[in-house]
């Protein structure tokens, strides 16, 4: 089993099991001074071109296996199958018809500001002082929305983070109850001045939060003097401990209009209104922000949440001296919600041409490309950085650039918004045909997961074959819901061709 070749499905699972160590023993113990950790990380983040460029022929041919012996995951259960992963990457390269991937420059303009790539740190703990942002800039991030500043320093709690986990994932969702910057206003303004002085070609966004008109105007003037490139109005922090702060503002269009106008009074810079998802229609406050001086929209901020309830003592997390509170939910699992709100705004006639900085669950270049295809010319990232570090910028940029080249794009801008026409009201969807599932029996393990799901949660269209121990489709019962595809742990089921309703009977007879 240990020497079994990896296919696309198992290679992804194998890379997902890597601990992504800071100083990876697999690389530090490589006798050839290669970097298998970088290869694995690129596979993990779906950047196969980056993996190919890092692997090298010597790594594929190596028989010493010192990398696997040094793997820290072996202290938990078993080491990552590094030699097999290296072979898989080499074979993947051969399958690409020996075509050299063309990489596309990722430069793009956003709100009139030139950005070297669309990737920014979002306003949060990942961009909260000079040293952190400077390190991120040096590693390749094009910009940063500095952690929200105000005229006061909040008193924070400990702890302030919690997560939701699923199976082998370290976490898929993240909750925080952290407030705005814990540095003084003068300290933050000095950080911003230094960043613009030392990194003049990087883009710095000042996120501000005032408590009244005067404070919004004052903060806008101060950050403008500090030399920032844009201002982001934080109308959406879901857990500020004060009346009229954070998401309370974003839910009231009149306050959004009032505070946007106050901010515009203090600056000539582009203004982004950062929207809260804690409402039904984001278009309403977004329209108010644009009407009263905002240049663009940033969306989405975190979602109000309660992470869990411990059934031994009925506490929740993060637990602060036995108590917790509603906080902001982020991470990979909020991506569908973020995409929905962005879609709704860009489909609105009054917002369709408004620049949007998208955020919410961006972890890989594919996630980023989805936001771009929906209409975002700028992207902000926090939770993935908190989990994996600033180093993910390598795979974000490499993966996106290679994808654009492979698809024949010459710039990021060409891709912006291409997915919007494919998203239509539900009454415009094709309801007169069925896409039956297609089974690859050579890949099927016979585990019966698809049968269980279809039997107990679907349309009872599968039966387990007593001879082969593998599922058989009853097309008369199948409605083409594809639940079986979604639950298959081996990737053995895929969508089949779409059959028009009038031809379905003929298909059934064939089966």
* Polymer length of the chain: 511
- Alpha carbons within 13 angstroms on the beta-carbon side of residue 208 total 34
Contact 338, 277 (CB under 8 A): yes
E strand intervals along 382-449? 433-439
- Coil, strand, or helix at residue 397? helix
Neighbours of 504 (CB within 10 A): 17
DSSP string for 189-247: HHHHHHHHHH-TTSEEEEEE--SSHHHHHHHHHHHHHHT-SEEEEE---TT-SSTT-TH
The catalytic position among 26, 111, 237, 397 is 237
Classify residue 447 by burial, with Cβ atoms within 10 Å: 0-12, 13-18, 19+. Answer: middle
Cα–Cα separations (whole angstroms), residue 401 to 41, 133, 408, 475, 496: 17, 23, 11, 42, 31
Would you call the peptide bond into 225 cis, given omega within 30 degrees of 0 as the criterion? no
For residues 287 and 257, the answer to whether their CB atoms sit within 8 Å is no
User: What are the distances in angstroms from CA 77 to CA 74, 255, 363, 490?
Assistant: 5, 54, 26, 21
Torsion sign (Cα): 416, 422, 423, 425:
positive
Beta carbons of 220 and 188 less than 8 angstroms apart = no
Rounded Cα–Cα distance for residues 182 and 170 (Å): 28
φ, ψ of residue 173 to 5 degrees: the values are -140, 150
CA distance 12 to 29: 23
Which burial class, exposed, middle or buried, applies to 167 when counting CB atoms under 10 A from its CB (0-12, 13-18, 19+)? exposed
Q: Assess whether 115 carries a catalytic annotation.
A: no
| 381 Cα distance to chain centroid | 7
Task: Please enumerate in sequence order all residues whose Cβ is within 8 A of that of 55, keeping only pairs 6 or more positions apart, or say none.
Answer: 36, 39, 86, 89, 90
Active site positions, annotated: 237
């Amino acid at each position: 089993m240990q020497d079994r070749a990896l296919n696309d499905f198992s290679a992804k699972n194998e890379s997902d099991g890597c601990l992504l160590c800071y100083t990876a023993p697999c690389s530090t113990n490589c006798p050839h001074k290669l970097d298998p950790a970088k290869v694995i990380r690129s596979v993990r983040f779906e950047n196969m071109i980056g993996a190919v460029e890092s692997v090298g022929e010597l790594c594929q041919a190596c028989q010493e296996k010192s990398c696997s012996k040094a793997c820290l995951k072996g202290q938990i259960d078993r080491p990552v199958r590094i030699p097999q992963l290296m072979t898989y990457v080499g074979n993947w390269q051969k399958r690409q018809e020996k075509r050299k991937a063309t990489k596309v420059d990722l430069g793009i303009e956003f709100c009139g500001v030139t950005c070297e790539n669309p990737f920014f740190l979002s306003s949060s703990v990942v961009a909260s002082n000079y040293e952190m942002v400077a390190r991120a800039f040096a590693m390749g991030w094009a910009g940063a929305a500095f952690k929200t500043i105000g005229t006061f320093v909040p008193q924070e709690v400990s702890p302030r983070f919690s997560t939701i986990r699923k199976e082998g994932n370290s976490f898929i969702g993240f909750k925080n109850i952290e407030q705005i910057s814990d540095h003084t206003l003068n300290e933050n303004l000095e950080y911003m001045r230094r960043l613009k002085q030392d990194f003049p070609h990087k883009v710095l966004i000042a996120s501000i939060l005032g408590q009244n008109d005067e404070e919004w105007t004052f903060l806008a003037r101060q950050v403008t003097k500090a030399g920032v490139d844009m201002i982001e109005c934080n109308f959406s922090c879901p857990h500020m401990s004060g009346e009229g702060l954070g998401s309370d503002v974003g839910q009231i269009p009149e306050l959004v209009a009032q505070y946007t106008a106050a901010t515009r009074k203090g600056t000539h810079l582009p203004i982004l209104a950062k929207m809260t998802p804690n409402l039904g229609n984001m278009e309403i406050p977004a329209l108010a922000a644009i009407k009263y001086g905002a240049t663009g929209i940033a969306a989405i901020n975190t979602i109000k949440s309660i992470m869990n309830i411990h059934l031994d003592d009925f506490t929740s997390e993060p637990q602060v001296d036995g108590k917790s509170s509603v906080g902001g939910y982020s991470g990979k699992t909020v991506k569908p919600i973020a995409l929905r709100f962005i879609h709704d705004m860009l489909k609105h006639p009054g917002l369709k041409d408004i620049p949007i900085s998208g955020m919410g669950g961006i972890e890989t270049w594919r996630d980023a490309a989805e936001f771009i295809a929906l209409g975002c010319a700028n992207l902000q990232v926090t939770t993935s950085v908190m989990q994996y570090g600033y180093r993910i910028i390598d795979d974000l940029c490499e993966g996106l650039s290679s994808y654009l080249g492979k698809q024949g794009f010459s710039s990021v801008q060409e891709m912006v918004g291409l997915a919007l026409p494919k998203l239509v009201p539900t009454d415009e969807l094709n309801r007169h045909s069925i896409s039956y599932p297609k089974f690859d029996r050579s890949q099927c393990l016979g585990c019966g997961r698809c049968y269980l799901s279809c039997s107990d949660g679907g349309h009872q269209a599968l039966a387990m074959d007593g001879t082969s121990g593998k599922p058989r489709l009853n097309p008369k019962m199948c409605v083409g819901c594809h639940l079986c595809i979604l639950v298959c742990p081996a990737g053995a089921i895929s969508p089949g061709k779409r059959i028009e309703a009038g031809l379905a009977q003929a298909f059934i007879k064939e089966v």
